[in-house]
Amino acid sequence: MTAVIGLKRTPLFDIHCASKAKLVDFGGWHMPVQYSGILEEHHAVRTAVGLFDVSHMGEVEIRGPEAGKLVDFVSTNYAAKLNVGQAHYSALLYEHGGFVDDILVHKLSETHYFLCVNASNQEKDYAHIRTVNRFDCEVEFASNRYSQLAIQGPKAIATLRKLTAVPLETIKYYWFTRGDISGVPALIAHTGYTGEDGFEIYIDPASAPRIWNEVLAAGAEFGIKPCGLGARNTLRLEAKMALYGHEITASINPFEADLSWILKMDKGEFIGRRALTGVAERGVTRKLAAFEMTGRGIGRDGYEVWIDGQPAGWVTSGGPSPTLNKNIGLCYLPVQKAIPGVPIQIAIRNQYVDAVTVTAPFYKRTKA
Amino acid sequence: MSYPDNLKYTKQHEWVLAEDGEGAIGITDHAQHELGDIVYVDLPKPGDTLEKGHSLGSVESVKAVSDIYAPVSGEVVAVNELLSKHPEKLNEDPHGEAWLVRVKLTDPRELGELMTAADYEKYVGAE
């Protein structure tokens, strides 16, 4: 494997190379896009268990008497409502209401919050949070202190159980705990980006290679597969989870992105609230919609969407759904068209191929 | 994977197997490997004319779409119907069962401009 100069590496880089993973430049990081194959990895997560290196993701910690006030001022969801040990999905916005990033907020204590942010946004997010901090708390760029592994799939809990005394089944969805995994202190969160059951663990980077190998060994009897960013993308698309730079950008607001559920307009002042109050009064003109192809072809990221012979929007994410065996996608459409059952065309390489808007998520796991 | 000696190869990772004024066209094992799981193949129709170096269709993997360039000029006489139902055959047998199209060669001299198996192996080794 030839290393590309200038790309950042996770502590698992050597393991990825040794396992013949296909590595790509992902937002400045040298990351595995696939190991055995995207389809095989995707199916492993849906039917058994998969292991992802997501150490490129960033971490920001906020500590101090007014840590909660800063989190509520800088993000859209209602952090004051979180219990200690609970996490939620949220967003950082600009004053104009567009996205800085989407994030996970974990409440470690009344005075300590742990934020997981996107890899390519971590410096920007950190600077953004510091800039607006007028509260009695400290903001730490903590990415260098953590590696993150995601263990996802119906057998995730059975896999991880072998490596820890923590009673994993007592951790509710979107809750977390601190405990040891193979003797390594970890933050163990019942979260994920696959639409499947699973855990995301945050550990010391120096321990990451050993824990990676131990998780693979623990999951061997279930058919665990190391998974790359390719499968991560097909899995999250089926679950209609947003990806920064695709569904959410600086020029998209949470109403448009169909994320009004993380927008707590009544919680008090937060960055972006004033602009969004205006948006709420006027209404949005475009909105995220889900589609599936009815004609032959795959609507992919960036392709134009046409309705009645007119350009009407664009595909934000699109591709084959390995679980459903259909070609699916998400797109922005005029708000009155962003409802299920609307015939649309995707401009695929100079051809207009039929598709139809559908309800999403495309895939929803059946709870055990 | 070894590259069969009876095929001729392009820098864009297509191959041609020429016999009796006709040529079968496909993509190489290197190409299928770089693409990953292939899920869709868009091919021309019988009767269409291919011009050497121009796109004749596309191959799509889960992740990306990639043009296929005609390694030779000619008229399409057959299209591999197997691939519309089973595009994954391109991952399994790219130099055999998963040929893409057969053409009637316009100018067999074009074959001389293509790489031999040994040259191609060197080329992908260095890439």
Please write the tens of the pLDDT for every residue from A43-87: 999 999 999 999 999 999 999 999 999 999 999 999 999 999 999
Output the pLDDT for position A298: 96
Output the pLDDT for position A357: 98
Omega of the bond leading into A320 within 30 degrees of 0 (cis): no
Q: Which of B35, B37, B40 has the most A C-beta neighbours within 10 Å, making it the best mutation to test the interface with A?
A: B37
CB within 8 Å: B60 and A298: yes
Output the pLDDT for position B36: 94
Given 3-state DSSP classes, what are the helix, strand and coil percentages for chain A, each rounded to the nearest 5? 25, 35, 40
At position A273, the amino acid (one-letter code) is: R
How many helices (H) and strands (E) would you count in chain B? 4, 9
Identify whether the C-beta of residue B103 lies closer than 8 Å to the C-beta of residue B44.
no
* Cβ contacts of A282 within 8 Å, gap of 6 or more: none
Task: Report residue A273 as tokens.
Answer: 């609230």
Pick the closest to residue A181 from A168, A190, A194 (CA basis): A168
Distance, CA of B125 to CA of A2 (rounded, Å): 13
Å between B36 CA and nearest CA of chain A: 6
Output the pLDDT for position A349: 84
CB within 8 Å: B37 and A300: no
CB within 8 Å: B36 and A37: yes
Å between B68 CA and nearest CA of chain A: 13
Work out the average pLDDT over A332-337.
98
* pLDDT at residue B33 tops 80: yes
Give the pLDDT band of residue A2 (cuts 50, 70, 90).
Answer: very low
Give the pLDDT band of residue A5 (cuts 50, 70, 90).
Answer: low
CB within 8 Å: B62 and A33: no
- Could you read off the pLDDT of A117-138 as tens digits, one per residue? 999 999 999 999 999 999 999 9
CA B13 remoteness from chain centre: 7
Contacts of B122-127 with CB under 8 Å at 24 or more apart are: B123/B9, B123/B11, B124/B13, B124/B28, B124/B30
> In this complex, which of B37, B40, B65 lies closest to A39 when CB atoms are compared?
B37
SS (H, E, C) A3-64: CCCCCECCCCHHHHHHCCCEEEEECCEEEEEECCCHHHHHHHHHHCCEEEECCCCEEEEEEC
Q: Which of A39, A232, A346 has the most B C-beta neighbours within 10 Å, making it the best mutation to test the interface with B?
A: A39
Q: Which of A20, A23, A26, A34 has the most B C-beta neighbours within 10 Å, making it the best mutation to test the interface with B?
A: A34
Task: Report residue A234 as tokens.
Answer: 């097909």
Of the spans A4-13, A94-103, B57-66, which averages the highest pLDDT?
A94-103
Output the pLDDT for position B1: 63
Distance, CA of A322 to CA of B72 (rounded, Å): 35
* pLDDT at residue B125 tops 70: yes
Output the pLDDT for position A1: 41
Which positions in chain A have a beta carbon within 8 angstroms of at least one beta carbon in chain B?
22, 33-34, 37-40, 230, 233-234, 296-298, 300, 319-320, 322, 327, 349
Work out the average pLDDT over A6-27.
92
b/e map A109-148, b = 16+ CB within 10 Å: eeebbbbbbbbbbbeebbebbeebbebebebebbbeebbb
With residue B124 as reference, give the H or E element that holds it: helix B117-126
With residue B91 as reference, give the H or E element that holds it: helix B89-92
Computed over every residue of chain A, the mean pLDDT equals: 96
Output the pLDDT for position A27: 84
Other C-beta atoms lying within 10 Å of the C-beta of residue A149 = 24
Q: Which of A33, A35, A38 has the most B C-beta neighbours within 10 Å, making it the best mutation to test the interface with B?
A: A38
Pick the closest to residue B124 from B42, B60, B52, B28 (CA basis): B28
Pick the closest to residue B7 from B25, B20, B33 (CA basis): B25
Strand, coil or helix: A286: strand
- Could you read off the pLDDT of A232-247 as tens digits, one per residue? 999 999 999 999 999 9
Contacts of A261-268 with CB under 8 Å at 24 or more apart are: A262/A76, A262/A77, A262/A88, A262/A89, A262/A90, A262/A91, A263/A76, A263/A77, A263/A91, A264/A76, A264/A77, A264/A78, A267/A72, A267/A78, A267/A80, A268/A72
Identify whether the C-beta of residue A104 lies closer than 8 Å to the C-beta of residue A116.
yes
Output the pLDDT for position A4: 53
Contacts of B39 in chain A (CB under 8 A): 298, 320
Distance, CA of A16 to CA of A229 (rounded, Å): 12
Å between A325 CA and nearest CA of chain B: 10
Q: Torsion over CA of B96, B99, B104 and B110, rounded to 10 degrees?
A: -80
CB within 8 Å: B37 and A298: no
CB within 8 Å: A322 and B62: yes
Instruction: Give, in order, the Cα–Cα distances in Å from A146 to each of A7, A65, A202.
Output: 18, 24, 6
Output the pLDDT for position A247: 98
Contacts of B62 in chain A (CB under 8 A): 38-39, 230, 234, 319-320, 322
- Could you read off the pLDDT of A134-191 as tens digits, one per residue? 999 999 999 999 999 999 999 999 999 999 999 999 999 999 999 999 999 999 999 9
CB within 8 Å: A320 and B58: no
DSSP code at position A173 = T
The residues that bridge with A90 in the sheet, in sequence order, are: A103
Distance, CA of A290 to CA of A262 (rounded, Å): 19
> In this complex, which of B40, B58, B62 lies closest to A230 when CB atoms are compared?
B62
Residue for token digits 């057998």? A155
b/e map B77-107, b = 16+ CB within 10 Å: eebbeebeeebebbbeebbeebbbbbbebbe
CB within 8 Å: B62 and A22: no
Distance, CA of A186 to CA of A92 (rounded, Å): 26
Contacts of A319 in chain B (CB under 8 A): 62-63
Å between B58 CA and nearest CA of chain A: 10
CB within 8 Å: B37 and A234: no
Q: Are strands A50-53 and A225-227 parallel, antiparallel or unpaired?
A: parallel
Distance, CA of B28 to CA of A256 (rounded, Å): 44
Å between A70 CA and nearest CA of chain B: 39
Work out the average pLDDT over B65-85.
97
Q: How many Cα atoms are found within 13 Å in the side-chain-facing hemisphere of A358?
A: 17
**Range with the poorest average pLDDT among A4-8, A67-71, B119-123:** A4-8
Strand, coil or helix: A306: strand
DSSP code at position A366 = P
Contacts of B36 in chain A (CB under 8 A): 22, 33-34, 37-38, 230
> In this complex, which of A33, A230, A320 lies closest to B39 when CB atoms are compared?
A320
In chain B, the residue whose alpha carbon lies closest to the alpha carbon of A2 is B127
Chain A to chain B Cβ contacts (< 8 Å): 37
Output the pLDDT for position B2: 83
- Could you read off the pLDDT of A211-226 as tens digits, one per residue? 999 999 999 999 999 9
CB within 8 Å: B40 and A320: yes
Output the pLDDT for position A368: 58
Pick the closest to residue A265 from A76, A73, A129, A89 (CA basis): A76
Distance, CA of B121 to CA of B4 (rounded, Å): 10
